Amino acid sequence: MAYSGTSVGPGRPGVFVTHPVFREAAFGSHHPLSIGRQAAVLDLCQAMGWLTSDRIHHCQLASREDLLKFHDARYVDALEAACERGVASVDTRQRYNVGTMECPLFDGLWERARASVGGSTRAAEFAADGHVAFHPAGGTHHGRPERASGFCYFNDPVFAIMTLLERGIERVLYLDLDAHHGDGVEDAYSGDGRVMTVSLHEAGRWPYSGETGWDDEKATLNIALPGGVNDSEYDFVLEQSVLPRVERWEAQAAVVECGADALAGDPLSSLQLSNGALWRAVERFVAPVPGAVVLGGGGYNPWTAARLWAGLWARLSGQVIPVGLPGKAEALLAALSCDLVDDEDIVPRWLTAVDDVPNEGAIRPEIDAIVKALG
């Protein structure tokens, strides 16, 4: 099937997977993720009239037995014990990175972490049945079998891929558009033979892995982009270096991690994409496969993250993004706040429209060099 930028919605109305725990505050009060993104996405979709209750599927929490398919039992038990006590021992902090500044303990963590896995597992079941399933609270791509990493306690994208494979799908594409390298998923599946992993991320950012290169044996493609990347450069790299390899892979299903931190305005990256560039990218990879899981991920600006994911749901489910916003949606965006974004840096359009102004521009020599290096 040919790859195209056309809507993926018609005939596949889409399933929105979530859990009530994602509405609750999380990560305490001094963490980049304490910004209420998931409630904002759900509320914005509903305020825009894009999400009726028949499209929403509430997932189960993953059980201990489920978690042990990827995570180490000692880590799972230590995390549960720390959540129960509300405090992490020195050993738990050092060994498992739980109860640290990076991966703090907070009320609801044990439910939330298991809901991310339960949601991705359920989304993959929908995908195996030919649906596009959107799970914006998923995308914890840094989680390691034996420890928490990079704000991620478990690794829900791994469970989405695992579920597709268990359902008899033999060739899976994992595409990671987050500003940070999808290291946990790549390490879990590179060389597996059934999964191609692709990660486009910003060079020189944590976790500092994912140098530009294609490894044929491992079926792993990494593209480390320079800061300031615009929409034109992103499209160019996708067309020249990603789509041809992905077409050859002939995936039967895709799992896409669509973090919001590659957008202009994100305080933890300096990529400069508009949300339209990411919507187009997701559609190009989701349209040709029979079923797909689309996840959220990083994203530390509540306005850009909520608008990206609400608009992504609209596009995936074949709905039109209007000019302007209903009053309810405007009020919701006006009520968001974020310690990492100064008031004078709030772009007026973040409060008045879902779509960004496209950020088109010249293709810089360093982008040409990436494409040439990949051959």
Write out the catalytic residue numbers: 142
Residues 6+ apart with CB under 8 A from 327: none
**CB closer to Zn ion out of 66 and 261:** 261
DSSP 176: E
How many residues bind Zn ion (CB under 5 A)? The answer is 6
Figure out which of the listed residues 125, 176, 178, 356 binds Zn ion, where binding follows CB under 5 A: 178
Check the CA dihedral 152-154-155-157 and report its sign. Answer: negative
Q: Quick one: which segment of 99-107, 168-176, 178-186, 313-321 binds Zn ion (CB under 5 A)? A: 178-186
Please give the Cα distance from 142 to 55 (Å, whole number). 29
Q: How far is the CB of 262 from Zn ion (least distance, A)?
A: 8
Figure out which of the listed residues 14, 32, 210, 298 binds Zn ion, where binding follows CB under 5 A: 298
Please give the Cα distance from 240 to 182 (Å, whole number). 21
Distances (CA, A) of 199 to 173, 179, 181, 286: 11, 9, 6, 15
Please give the Cα distance from 2 to 262 (Å, whole number). 27
Instruction: Indicate the residue whose CB is closest to Zn ion.
Output: 298
Figure out which of the listed residues 261, 266, 283, 356 binds Zn ion, where binding follows CB under 5 A: 261
Q: Quick one: which segment of 82-90, 220-228, 247-255, 261-269 binds Zn ion (CB under 5 A)? A: 261-269
Q: How far is the CB of 107 from Zn ion (least distance, A)?
A: 24
Interaction of residue 201 with Zn ion, rule CB under 5 A: no
Q: How far is the CB of 47 from Zn ion (least distance, A)?
A: 26
Are 183 and 206 spatial neighbours (Cβ–Cβ below 8 Å)?
A: no
Instruction: Tell me the sheet residues that pair with 291.
Output: 253
DSSP 349: G
Figure out which of the listed residues 259, 276, 288, 291 binds Zn ion, where binding follows CB under 5 A: 259
Figure out which of the listed residues 37, 180, 205, 307 binds Zn ion, where binding follows CB under 5 A: 180
Q: Which amino acid is at 6?
A: T
Chain contacts with Zn ion (rule: CB under 5 A):
178-180, 259, 261, 298
